[in-house]
Amino acid sequence: MKILVFNSDEAVKRLYDAELAGNMLVYVDGSVSQEVLSANTDAEVVSLFTTSSLKKEDIERLPSLKCIVARSTGVDHIDVAAAKEKGIPVCNVPRYGARTVAEFTFALMLSLSRRIFDAFHQIRESGSFKTGALEGFDLYGKTLGVIGTGAIGHTVVGIAKGFGMQVRMFDLFPDQKLADASAQYVSVDELLAQSDIITLHTPYTKENHHLLNADSFAKMKKGVFVINTARGELIDTDALVEALKVGQVAGAGLDVLEEERLLKDEMELVKGIESINALKVLIKDHVLIDMPRVIITPHIAFFSREAYQEILQTSLNNIKSFTAGTPTNVVQ
């Protein structure tokens, strides 16, 4: 069986080479491209990470394709509907690294609340050990708004309680076992109005595109902090930039950005971006990167040794299960 593996690194290659012997493995370091697809029209399985997108036209370029394996939980980078039309199962990694992402959420939070990067840059750039401009604030007693209380959000709530924070939660399917005197489910508007810090832990769908937009920012406390380790498209980048400029949002910790796939491979600018809106968002992403009190990381909240190994192992098992005729973790 021919297996086309995009966004492959040495860890992927070592594991797949060892466990998928007898199959034809084609590794591509970069993302999905027309050139690679055209050269591998006989591929039966495609494995990819979120930095690649697999659109309807890409699927149609692979007439022998029988299974798509996402090395991620989210599958918004794959045209699942187009795959279903052709009877092609899309398999994902349904759960991994909830604590990993939750810990990273608090790494961003603490970096902002205690001005860690400001202090680092001050010492590195000027050698100054003055503390006057580096006053931070405690998490204890602050109100944390958690949007999405699945596995990751659930873990974030537990850590927040350990810090002595008050928690306001929103989820379409609330887990009432999480609720207690210090953590309550509320409406989105109540969460926005009451929170000192807001963190996103919900999957991206067309329905929640730009969940945080200009109207949302206007409803927040002045000086709120925003954390996003979920998906960039949950936040309207233009609205966030404006809210930061006027001080409505005091700071942001972002592990994901809208249109981040273009940021990761800016040669797309040379090839021609599909829409002017995507280009506008890309420019705003660069504005965000240069703003004070904004910390941006390259989608690494999931990327601990333990969590990454779990992702690779589950994706490997998904491929093995498919080749054995019993696909697992199929996205419905």
- β-pairing, 2-5 with 24-27? parallel
Q: Which two tokens stand for residue 143?
A: 């109100």
Predicted pLDDT of residue 110? 98
Question: Smallest Cα–Cα separation from 195: which of 216, 172, 173?
Answer: 216
Q: Which residue has the tokens 């942001």?
A: 252
Report yes or no: 16 and 38 within 8 Å, Cβ to Cβ. no
Confidence at residue 277, expressed as pLDDT on a 0 to 100 scale: 61
Listed in sequence order, the residues at least 6 apart from 329 whose beta carbon sits closer than 8 Å to its beta carbon are 91, 92, 93, 94, 314, 318
Q: Residue 280 has what pLDDT? A: 58
So what's the pLDDT on residue 97? 87
For residues 16-38, average pLDDT = 96
pLDDT of residue 40: 98
pLDDT (0 to 100) of residue 43: 98
Mean pLDDT of 48-68: 96
Please state the domain extents for the chain.
2-96+305-323, 98-296
pLDDT of residue 243: 98
In this structure, which CATH number among 1.20.1440.230, 3.40.50.720, 3.30.1330.10, 3.30.70.100 belongs to the domain 98-296? 3.40.50.720
Rounded percentage of the chain residues whose pLDDT exceeds 70: 92
Spatial separation of the C-alpha atoms in residues 250 and 217, rounded to whole Å: 11
Per-residue pLDDT tens digits for 92-110: 999 888 999 999 999 999 9
- Which of the four pLDDT bands, split at 50, 70 and 90, describes residue 179? very high
Picking from 72, 98, 73, the residue whose alpha carbon sits closest to that of residue 7 is: 72
pLDDT at site 290: 86
pLDDT in tens, 245-289: 999 999 999 999 987 765 554 434 334 444 546 655 666 767 888
Residue 65's pLDDT is what?
A: 98
pLDDT score of 283: 63
In Å, how far are 5, 46, 103, 172, 197 from 255, measured between CA atoms?
24, 26, 13, 24, 16
pLDDT in tens, 121-162: 999 999 999 999 999 999 999 999 999 999 999 999 999 999
The pLDDT-based confidence of 227 (bands split at 50, 70, 90) is very high
Which residues are tagged catalytic? 231, 260, 299
Span 229-245, pLDDT tens digits: 999 999 999 999 999 99
* Local structure of residue 247 (DSSP, 8 states): T
Q: How far apart, in Å, do the first and last CA atoms of the chain sit? A: 25
pLDDT tens readout for residues 190-222: 999 999 999 999 999 999 999 999 999 999 999
- Of 196, 188, 187, 289, nearest in space to 237 by CA: 289
**For the residues 318-328, what does the mean pLDDT come to?**
97
Backbone angles phi, psi at 42, to 5 degrees: -90, 10
In this prediction the pTM is 0.84
What's the average model confidence in pLDDT over 67-84? Answer: 95
Question: What is 2-96+305-323's CATH topology?
Answer: Rossmann fold (3.40.50)
Domains 2-96+305-323 and 98-296 in one fold: yes
